[in-house]
Structure 1
Amino acid sequence: MYPFTDGSYAPKNGWYVAAFCHEVGEELLSRWILNQPVVLYRKADGTAVAVQGRCPHRHFPLGASRRVGDAIQCAYHGITFDAAGACTFVPSQEKIPGVYSIKAYPLVERGLWAWIWPGDPALADESLVPDMGDIGYSLPGYHARALFYHHVEGRYQLLNDNLLDLSHLGYLHHSSIGTPDDAATPETREANNRFIRSRRIMRNTLRPAVVDWQTDFAGPIDRVSGMDFHFPGFHAGIADVLVAQGHARAGELLRSNRVWHAVTPAGRTTTNYFFAMASPDPKALDEAESYLKPVIEEDIFATVEIEKIISTLDELPPELMLKSDGTAVMGRRALQRMMDAERQ
């Protein structure tokens, strides 16, 4: 499935964000992940769990059911499953069939996020969860906050492509966070088998509108912009603004943010999208929440509109690629390798 080979749309063996930690509580939380219904909740001891969200009896949604202690009781016929997925009660009979169970997913909490492994649980290595230091979550003096969750009517790779090609900032987000230099400035890249890193350093550059309310410095600026893509669906971004070289205060940090985009396939053409941010100034996060809301909505708009076209055309023509697509192509190839390995 575009842009991957036939039958491919997302890797299964990898850690995805299932929810922000604060979303997971005593109430049952329903979420579709890789075309499967999932239910998340916390047990009485505070442990977050994730289980299959479909009763195997009549396929009733367990997310629309009820808690009975640490178990879920299907609201249709009362069949009950514990937090490990085992069936513990069938009201209509004493003997519980051995086949009656639901899948329990590996789930770990790191930083702001609850991470789920949708694939083979035997391969769920917690060391593969993105390191909180590597993504900038544990920077001294920075305050992190979960800001937005959206269910997006577009396939997951469209949002990955968006985040892997920041040349769009100066055009899709020209009135807020970007300038034409986001496309005109060459990027440097670094990659291994777990992530792709991209950076642009813009010297003596134009001021995006977002800078004007974040600093009272009116002189020339330098910008550092980039994104790290941690496979298969987590993007950690950097956005620093400094006094430009040649100025008496050259190199002084005027503004510094870390942003995190988690992109988790819901279905084949729908996505769970999580956005969070960190700043040394908690008040800046209050302002950013309202300022960035329309920015995130612009990315969602682009994703949805592209999905409408590619899912409707009788035949999808090949893309005409540009130099700026290099990072996105690297990301696509890395994910395709993961999916190919799963098939083997």
Structure 2
Amino acid sequence: MYPFKTGSFAVHNGWYVAAFTDEIGEQLLARTILNKPVVMYRKDDGTAVAIGGRCPHRHFPLGQGERVGDEVVCGYHGIAFGPDGRCTRIPTQRGVPAVYRVPSYPLVEHGIWAFIWMGDADKADPALLPDLDDIGFNVNGNLAQPFFVEHVDGRYQLLNDNLLDLSHLAVLHRSSIGTPENASTPETIERSERQISCHRVMSNVDVPPVYPALGRMMKKIDRISGMTFHLPGFHAGIEQTRYPADDPRFAGQVIEDVRIFHAVTPETANSCNYFFAANSIDQSHLETMKNFLEPVIAEDKMATEEIEKMLRLVGENPDELLLKSDHNAVTARRMLQRLMDEERGGDPEAALPAKPSPADS
């Protein structure tokens, strides 16, 4: 499945954001994750749990049932399941067959996110979660706030590709947060086993269009913009601006220092959920950010969904004329493909996604 090789969809042995923590409460929260129905809720002691969302009797969605104590009761025939997935009660009979159960999934609350592990539960390693200090979640005493949960009618890797190539800010977001330097400034790139980081340091550049709208009247700024991708679906960004070094009054003074958090979670082969959050030391600034970033997120969603429509039109595995700016996206695809191959016991060197074309030179 584009952009991966045939038979590959998504990494299962990895942490995905299933919800913001404040979405999970006493009521059942139903989502589809990696083609599997999931129901999340909090037990009486406040612990968040996740179990399979399909009743094995007649396949009724458990998310349309109800929570009774620590159990989920199917809304069709009243069959009850505990937080470990085991069936506890069948109203029409006394005994409960041992095979009557739904899956349970490791669910970890980490920062403002609830991360789920959809693969082999024995391999669910909390050490693979993004480090909250490394991603800037705790920087300068900043406050983190969930902004949006968007359902996107496009395959998840299209949105990952979008976040791995921030040169699109110069065009897709040129009326808000982007300037030409988002594309023309060279990137600094670092890579580890499960991360890719890229940063642009832009000096004495024009302010983005949103600045005057926010009442910031300076004309030039120094700007650091970047993103770190934590496989398989979490992106931590930085946006820092300062007065330029030649400013006669405020040289080098910080104007803004925020962290932006994106989580992309596969739903089906052709859809995903997109979780967007940010942090800032100023709560009122967060509200302002939320308002002006809403149309920016809508543009990314639009681009993803339009590409998905095109893929349905032209068919799977279209040829790509890749560019130098595709380096991070292609690298991430290859890293994800390797993880998928390892899960299936396949040859990680076989049929990897395309390398950059001659246009890369």
TM-score, length of structure 2 as denominator length: 0.93
Matches within 5 A, 1:301-320: 301-314=302-315, 316-320=317-321
- 1:148 partnered with 2:151: no
Question: In the alignment, residue 292 of structure 1 is paired with which amino acid?
Answer: L
8 Å CA contact 2:278–2:286 kept in 1: the answer is yes
The residue identity in structure 1 corresponding to 2:183 is A
**Quick one: distance in 2 between partners of 1:315 and 1:58?**
34
Q: Deviations over 1:180-225 (max 9, x none)?
A: 1100001010010121100000111121022334564524211100
Amino acid at match of 1:14: G
Mapping for residues 176-255 of structure 1, pairs under 5 Å: 176-214=176-214, 216=216, 218-248=218-248, 249-255=250-256
Partner of 1:116: 116
Give the letter for the 1:313 counterpart.
Answer: V
Partner of 2:339: 338
Assess, with a 3 A threshold, how the Cα gap between structure 1 residues 120 and 257 changes in structure 2: closer, same or farther: same
Q: How does 1:1-344 map to 2 (within 5 A)?
A: 1-214=1-214, 216=216, 218-248=218-248, 249-314=250-315, 316-344=317-345
Equivalent residue pairs, number: 344
Aligned residue type for 1:68: V
Q: Which residue number in structure 1 is paired with residue 349 of structure 2?
A: none
3-state DSSP of counterpart to 2:301: helix
| Letter aligned with residue 265 of structure 1 | P
**Given the two structures, how large is their TM-score scaled by the length of structure 1?**
0.98
Distance 1:180 1:219 in 2: 15
Letter in 2 for 1:66: E
1:329, distance to aligned residue in structure 2 (A): 1.1
The code of the aligned residue for 2:192 comes to N
Deviation sequence 1:263-305 (CA, Å, 0-9, x none): 0001111001000001121111111111111100000000000
Q: Residues 295-320 of structure 1, C-alpha deviation per residue, up to 9 Å, x if partnerless?
A: 00000000000000112214643111
Mark the CA change 1:203 to 1:55 in structure 2 (over 3 Å): closer, same or farther.
same
Q: State how far apart, in whole Å, the 2-side matches of 1:56 and 1:315 are.
A: 33
SS, match of residue 239 in structure 1:
strand
1:214·1:255 contact (CA, 8 Å) conserved in 2?
no
**SS of the residue aligned with 2:139?**
coil
Q: Secondary structure at the match of 2:83?
A: coil
CA contact (8 A) 1:188 1:198 kept: yes
Shift of 1:178: 0.3
Q: Give yes or no for contact 2:207–2:219 (8 Å, CA) kept in 1.
A: no
Distance 1:83 1:341 in 2: 30
Q: Which residue number in structure 1 is paired with residue 358 of structure 2?
A: none
Task: Tell me if the contact between 2:86 and 2:102 (Cα under 8 Å) persists in the aligned partners.
Answer: yes
Deviation at 1:118? 0.5
Contact persistence 1:215–1:254 (CA under 8 A):
no
Q: CA deviation at 1:9?
A: 1.7
Tell me if the contact between 1:164 and 1:229 (Cα under 8 Å) persists in the aligned partners: yes
Query: Aligned partners of 2:68 and 2:283: how far apart in 1?
Result: 39
Distance 2:58 2:243 in 1: 63
Cα root mean square deviation, aligned: 1.2
**Contact 1:219–1:243 at 8 Å: present in 2 too?**
no
- Look up the equivalent residue of 1:255 and give its one-letter code: E
Corresponding letter in the other structure for 1:266: E
Contact kept, 8 Å, 2:26 with 2:43, in 1: the verdict is yes
Q: Deviations over 1:204-248 (max 9, x none)?
A: 112102233456452421110000000000000000111112333
**Contact between 2:62 and 2:72, CA under 8 Å: does it hold in 1?**
yes
Contact 2:81/2:101 (<8 A) preserved: yes
Question: Is contact 2:263–2:276 with CA below 8 Å preserved after alignment?
Answer: yes
Q: Percent identity?
A: 55
d(CA) in 1 for partners of 2:164, 2:278: 18
